[in-house]
Structure 1
Amino acid sequence: MLAHAPLKWADPEDSDIPGEQSATSDDSEPPWPPYTLLEESDVWRELRMLARPHSTPLGPEEKFKADSINFQPALSSKTQDRYVVTQLEVNGRLWAFTGVFDGHLGDVTVEHVSHHLPIIVREFLIEEEAANPGVTPAADIISACFTKAITAFDDAIAHDVLDLFGGSVDKLDDYTDSQIREIINDQHKGGANWQKARLCMYGTTALVALVDPENQNLWVANLGDCEAFLASPSSKTQSGWTVEALTATHNGDNPAEIERVRKTHPGEPECVVDNRVLGAIAPTRCFGDIPFKQPPAFTRRILYNLFPGFHNTSPWEEFLVRNQTPPYITAEPQIIHRRLDLPRFLILASDGFSALCDGVRQQRVIESWARSMVSKNPPETVTDSAPGSRADNMALRLLRLALGGDDRFGVSRLLTLDLPNDSWIDDTSIVIRTI
């Protein structure tokens, strides 16, 4: 049995939520809000409804596949996670592209990035092949191509707006607030400028993986605190598994990231406050979040004039006064390359997965999941579909283990807590592909 870890609330300030005592597998636990104890069949039915599992064939002759879920049990909370599983056709060859994205402040930017990033990466791959026809690019060339695609895409978010005003923040002095409002609030003309400006207000992390058409090389690009793992058999019998964490987290919990931000802003003690960039935001690398990447005038002159507007700008001003030498957040990704010389599982997960596993349980949960995926008679039965069957979903099985495995009390509690107006756990997206 994989015992369930203590519940990690979506909002740490709400960790002591009052509620009547409900049925529990451990009387020593604190009082829980009301929840429903589900039968085993109902657990899987509820999981499928909430996580919406999906499977996508990949590669030549559909030899490989990717399974995915996006999970948020609070029905009143709109998930800001997104995932992508697709193939990029480049000169008749198919590159596999998978990714998870965790939006913050709103879902406008995460929706934009998850839709357009695969298109941008494909364009850069086409350009690379056109520049060197007939040459198989080295791994570092693809890594550089991946980086350029990501940073160029992020640069365009702000500059598409600045181009409306002469191309730079300095040119905003040539416009009155009334003129700026007229330009960016063009909803009556279709809203193209308005939509560009809205993208600047929000942000998203991104964890994306690219596999070449021969399925010989893997590249992972990371911005933020989503996590990637490779699960590989440690012996020919596959009785043991090695789980490699591919990525580092790019947020205030990573001392190396805090030190990187401080080094790029010497003499600014408030560039990081309480492990948050400018005292306001946890991720140190992400798409969007333009108020942290442009001078304060961008926010004050453009975003403050965007309708329907800000009813209260004081929260923004609290960190804008610290904004002296932007950018403070970067879209420069961490790139990891691996040769694919063994059959493996690649796992991409948003930070909700880490929260469910309480961090330290991740390795154990993934190892248990990997054993169950290849064993004909797995010791932990984590799905009501036969392992490896087309009805089975790898991501859904991993989610079940992260929620508590065969601890039906713990799983039921997380699925059915009676808190209709709050999300009690973070959004969780998982994409798993065979490689």
Structure 2
Amino acid sequence: MHRAAVRAFRTSHRPSVRSQVRNTGRHHLHHARQSSTSHVPLRSSMYFRRLPVALASGLILGYGAWHYNGAEFVPGSAVTRSFTNTQAADAAPTRTVLVVGADELRQGTIVGEGPLYKSSTEDGRRIVEMLTPDQATAKLRRQEQSFYVNRGQGVTRYDLVQLGSNDPIEDDHAEKIVEVPTRVTEDEVSSSDWMFWGVFDGHSGWTTSATLRESLISYVARELNSTYKASSNAAPAPEAIDSAIKAGFTRLDNEIVHKSVEKVFKASSKAVAAELLQPALSGSCALLSFYDSRSKLLRVACTGDSRAVLGRRTKSGKWIATALSEDQTGGNPTEVARMRMEHPGEEHVIRNGRVLGGLEPTRAFGDAVYKWSRDVAGRLRENFFGRSPSPLLKTPPYVTAEPIVTTTKIEPENGDFVVLATDGLWEMLTNEEVVGLVGQWIETQKTGRPSSQFDKAWSKVFGSQSKPLPVEQGREAAGFDGKTPIRLQQWGIDPDARDRFVVRDKNVATHLVRNALGGANDEQVCALLTLPSPFSRRYRDDLTVQVIFFGHGDKTSEKTGDVTVNLDATTDQDPRARL
């Protein structure tokens, strides 16, 4: 192999999905200049899962944030099954609101038509008007995108969506295609694709995940390029490919955590320190998939507790869910054993399921307070700024960015798909539910008949006509201990309840998020989407979901473009792009 050409078909935070696809360009990978991540302009917790309020089954959350001006506020109970208000024709209009306090979440009603203004009550409660179902849907779809991949290389489409709970959202994501020319004969060159999809779950800030969005795929692609070139025309050994991916991860983390400190000490400037140390002091999990269209092998590299799950159809027509990664947290016995072996005699290396009693993921980018020595941390704090290390810190580093890599043979002819998502999705839905929901969505697209208001009215009178999710049951536990997802426990929802799920979205990633938040229960979906930051963080995390569909499609000409926006499943954030 002589070279690989990088083709980026999108990254997040761009002005328009249409302009991004139009402006896609090619650059030679091995000639690409490796820029310092410290100077990448960044644009733009999950580990503190307090559960102060249990929600009753079927209930929609009360919400609150602002005071009502010139009208009467009527408090409601914490448990309600309906926000419908019956009133006389001449009665003053009412609006449903949520009331949020330190330890309360309940529904109330605003009587009158005056505006809500931005002031809080003396007791710290907040009052906000409930989103309507249409407004909730608009919020769900605000960050959705969908692309057709017309390259004839085994991938036909991918959908993605983001929904923030933190403000700004601490999640991020990135996608790239690397076109790999290979000489077949002296006069003939063929090409295959390396395709990358990544989701990055930030914590204690957004800067680390933004750095991964800007740089991680490039770091990994460079390592892979070097590895393939070193093996001449023969494919490298599987172990060498895995090592290249791991090297890309660890080298970027070294740049974030250690090279940044060297630059700060050299510059001796607090302004430089403020810029360079942000990605080191915050942190991020990373989940990166790498698909080689020539070998049809999908490698998934996981650092932290984001998760990848494969959906594959069986002869029965149902789908099987297979996890392609394992959550790396203080609740994973394998990770606990590794940590105790690497730090013998340190009783509290994992305490209360967390690293030194603080950080839940055992692998992450950034989180430098678990990686710097006491000397480095002390010098930074004395001369610039920083955090005090834990009194339990004895033999750092305790946290590593090195991923665990799994390899799976993809079957494009069978219509395999893969779901990549940050842990905000998996604390609401099991692997099997996610795969079954995608299968349900696929069936609905074939029939062209999504759920309607008539369907809902019919089910109330005559009972549900819906079928169970088309997924094989009992293949995998919900988690390490097989428990119901944590948010369903918090909300008091019966995981076996009938008619929980619904199909209303053309973007399958949005479809998954809607059903994670309540599905057919419009009131719960509206309430969870109404909750403002930071209150929303008690009930849901940031969400980033990608779904990749494999299959055999034809390659389109360069004139029409081989990666195109699926307008039916994409919400364009830039109105100028429509002109």
* TM-score, with length taken from structure 2: 0.60
2:210: which partner in 1? 111
Of the candidates 37, 58, 71, which is equivalent to residue 163 of structure 2? 71
Give how far 1:93 is off.
4.1
Give how far 1:31 is off.
5.7
Q: Secondary structure at the match of 1:149?
A: helix
Of the candidates 211, 218, 227, which is equivalent to residue 291 of structure 2? 211
How far apart are the structure 2 equivalents of 1:59 and 1:220?
23
Q: Deviations over 1:14-34 (max 9, x none)?
A: 62399743684389xx96355
Residue identity (%): 26
* TM-score, with length taken from structure 1: 0.79
Q: Secondary structure at the match of 1:413?
A: helix
Contact 1:36–1:413, Cα closer than 8 Å, also in 2: no
Of the candidates 415, 430, 435, which is equivalent to residue 343 of structure 1? 415
Q: Deviations over 1:216-248 (max 9, x none)?
A: 11000001011110011112x63x110111211
Which structure would you say has the larger Rg? 2
Of the candidates 429, 435, 438, which is equivalent to residue 369 of structure 1? 438
Match for 1:54: what amino acid? Q
Q: Secondary structure at the match of 2:225?
A: helix
Contact 1:395–1:431, Cα closer than 8 Å, also in 2: yes
Q: Secondary structure at the match of 1:200?
A: helix
How far apart are the structure 2 equivalents of 1:419 and 1:220?
32
Of the candidates 99, 105, 111, which is equivalent to residue 198 of structure 2? 99
Q: Secondary structure at the match of 1:143?
A: helix
Q: Deviations over 1:128-187 (max 9, x none)?
A: 12212222234333222211221222223233135448xxxxxxxxxxxxxx4x724263
* Residues 1:198 and 2:243 aligned together: no
Q: Deviations over 1:266-301 (max 9, x none)?
A: 111122222211122111001111221231112111
* Residues 1:87 and 2:87 aligned together: no
How far apart are the structure 1 equivalents of 2:393 and 2:327?
23
How far apart are the structure 2 equivalents of 1:78 and 1:208?
22
Of the candidates 132, 151, 165, which is equivalent to residue 250 of structure 2? 151
How far apart are the structure 2 equivalents of 1:11 and 1:199?
20
Q: Secondary structure at the match of 1:60?
A: coil
Contact 2:450–2:504, Cα closer than 8 Å, also in 1: no
Of the candidates 160, 168, 179, which is equivalent to residue 259 of structure 2? 160
2:106: which partner in 1? 32
* Counterparts in 2 of 1:212 and 1:227: CA distance versus 1, 3 Å: same
* Residues 1:282 and 2:360 aligned together: yes
Instruction: Describe how 1:243-392 pairs up with structure 2 within 5 A.
Output: 243-306=321-384, 309=385, 316-317=388-389, 319=390, 321-341=391-411, 342-357=414-429, 361-375=430-444, 376-377=446-447, 381=451, 382-384=502-504, 392=506
Q: Secondary structure at the match of 1:395?
A: helix
Give how far 1:55 is off.
1.6
Match for 2:396: what amino acid? P
2:540: which partner in 1? 425
Q: Deviations over 1:102-130 (max 9, x none)?
A: 11111111111221011111111221122
Give how far 1:432 is off.
0.7
Structure 2 regions of 5+ residues with no counterpart? 1-45, 55-61, 64-75, 84-103, 109-127, 182-190, 452-501, 551-579
Contact 2:311–2:418, Cα closer than 8 Å, also in 1: yes
Contact 2:441–2:508, Cα closer than 8 Å, also in 1: no
How far apart are the structure 2 equivalents of 1:263 and 1:141?
26
Of the candidates 1, 11, 16, which is equivalent to residue 53 of structure 2? 16
Give how far 1:324 is off.
1.3
2:549: which partner in 1? 434
How far apart are the structure 1 equivalents of 2:382 and 2:540?
32
Q: Secondary structure at the match of 1:330?
A: coil
Instruction: Describe how 1:397-408 pairs up with structure 2 within 5 A.
Output: 397-408=511-522
Give how far 1:348 is off.
0.5
Contact 1:278–1:322, Cα closer than 8 Å, also in 2: yes
* Counterparts in 2 of 1:417 and 1:159: CA distance versus 1, 3 Å: closer
Of the candidates 223, 231, 247, which is equivalent to residue 303 of structure 2? 223
How far apart are the structure 2 equivalents of 1:351 and 1:293?
23
What CA RMSD, in Å, does the superposition of the two structures yield over aligned residues?
A: 3.1
* Residues 1:54 and 2:54 aligned together: no
Q: Which has the higher helix share?
A: 1
Match for 1:332: what amino acid? E
Give how far 1:200 is off.
1.9
Q: Secondary structure at the match of 1:430?
A: strand
* Counterparts in 2 of 1:428 and 1:26: CA distance versus 1, 3 Å: same
Match for 2:140: what amino acid? L
How far apart are the structure 2 equivalents of 1:279 and 1:270?
7
* Residues 1:44 and 2:128 aligned together: no
How far apart are the structure 1 equivalents of 2:295 and 2:509?
21
* Residues 1:415 and 2:541 aligned together: no
Match for 2:168: what amino acid? K
How far apart are the structure 2 equivalents of 1:26 and 1:362?
31
* Counterparts in 2 of 1:10 and 1:128: CA distance versus 1, 3 Å: closer
Of the candidates 202, 226, 238, which is equivalent to residue 127 of structure 1? 226
Q: Secondary structure at the match of 2:348?
A: helix
